[in-house]
Structure 1
Amino acid sequence: MKKEFRKKVISERKNQTSEFINKNSSIITEKILEMDCIKEANTIMLYLDFNNEVKTDHLITKLISLRKTVASPITLKKEHKLIPAQITDPINGLTVNTFGPYNIREPKPDCSPTINVKDLDIVIVPAVAYDKNCYRLGYGGGFYDRFLVNLRPDAKTIGIAFDLQIFDEVPREPHDAQLDFIITESQILIPKN
């Protein structure tokens, strides 16, 4: 069930125009920058977008200009884990991880200092879909579910998505993470329970 659901949502997101993706990514970026938890945070980890996800490059540049420490994950496929690494140069400091299944951009290990997970104030999480109670349906690898349990209790988790990725319910299992906020172009969701 998860597989078919995931496939359907990814297909719908892939079919959006670049105008739709860029316009709504900008709206979402502005909403994020207005959040108190973002303004107060020192260290923020977020994903590098691919495949018509909410774009994050402008957000990264803006957060760095606000003197935030900005990190993105390096994927260790064999160990099945994510390592936060600082983005020191958003133009030349990134590479494509060809070992992973998705060819996702990552910070270059040789010029990106790693960051202790306990130093993260906020993690902006990718997903295929979310439900209205802030549960996420990821890409199926479980990397983020395993990663998020290691955060400090006061660290905040934020999902960003387009409205078309929000559902009343998404297929989930007990280990699936519930986030603190979901931000879309038209709404900010917080958990009901």
Structure 2
Amino acid sequence: MKKEFRKKVISDRNNQNYESLCKNSSIITQKILALDCIKKAKNIMLYLDFNNEVKTDELIVKLLSLGKTVSSPITIKEEKKLIPSQIIDLKDGVKIGAYGIREPKPECSPEVEVKDIDVVIVPAVAYDKDCYRLGYGGGFYDRFIERLREDAITVGIAFDLQIFDSVPKEDHDAQLDYIITESQILTPNKF
């Protein structure tokens, strides 16, 4: 069930027109920058977009211009592990890594301590309205989120077409603090 669901959502996401993908990514970027947790954060980790995900380059440039420490994960496939590595130069400090996803070049991107991260912006295939995510199936982010400080904030970003009443989930799947789309900001109903 998870596999078919993933496939359908990825297909829908890939069928978006490029102009609206860019426009909606910009809207989402502005909403993220307006969040208090982002304004207060010193150290923010986020993904480098891939395969019609919400575009993150504009957000990275703006966060760097605000003096934030910005990192992205280097994926260690064999260990199913993400290593947060500082982005110094988005143009020349990035390469294609595991799974064909852009990641910081290790030689010019110092590793960031997981306990120093204030906010993590995570990718996903889909989210539900209670802020659970359906990832790509490797469990990399679920494992990573477990290692964060208790007060670290987790933010999912997605397009409206990736939000559902419920998504297939398991006990180890992480519930995020926010989901931001072009039209809404969701927070979990924890009451």
TM-score, shorter chain, exceeding 0.5: yes
SS in 2 for 1:44: strand
Asked if residue 189 in structure 1 is aligned to residue 183 in structure 2, the reply is no
- The TM-score with structure 2 as length reference comes to 0.99
Q: Distance in 2 between matches of 1:183 and 1:37?
A: 13
Q: Distance in 1 between matches of 2:16 and 2:33?
A: 24
**Alpha-carbon distance, 1:53 to partner:** 0.3
Q: Distance in 2 between matches of 1:57 and 1:45?
A: 13
Cross-structure match for 1:67: 67
Which residue, out of 113, 116, 135, partners 1:116?
113
Q: Distance in 1 between matches of 2:184 and 2:145?
A: 23
**Alpha-carbon distance, 1:37 to partner:** 0.4
Encode CA deviations 1:136-191: one digit per residue, 9 max, x unaligned.
Answer: 00000000000000100000000000000000000000000100000000000000
**RMSD (CA atoms):** 0.4
Aligned sequence identity (%): 73
Cross-structure match for 1:34: 34
5+ residue gaps, structure 1: none
**Structure 1 residue ranges, 4+ long, deviating more than 4 angstroms after superposition:** none
**Alpha-carbon distance, 1:2 to partner:** 0.2
List aligned pairs for 1:1-193, cutoff 5 A. 1-97=1-97, 100=98, 102-193=99-190
One-letter amino acid of the counterpart of residue 14, structure 1: N
Aligned length: 190
Q: Distance in 1 between matches of 2:11 and 2:81?
A: 26
One-letter amino acid of the counterpart of residue 170, structure 1: V
One-letter amino acid of the counterpart of residue 179, structure 2: I
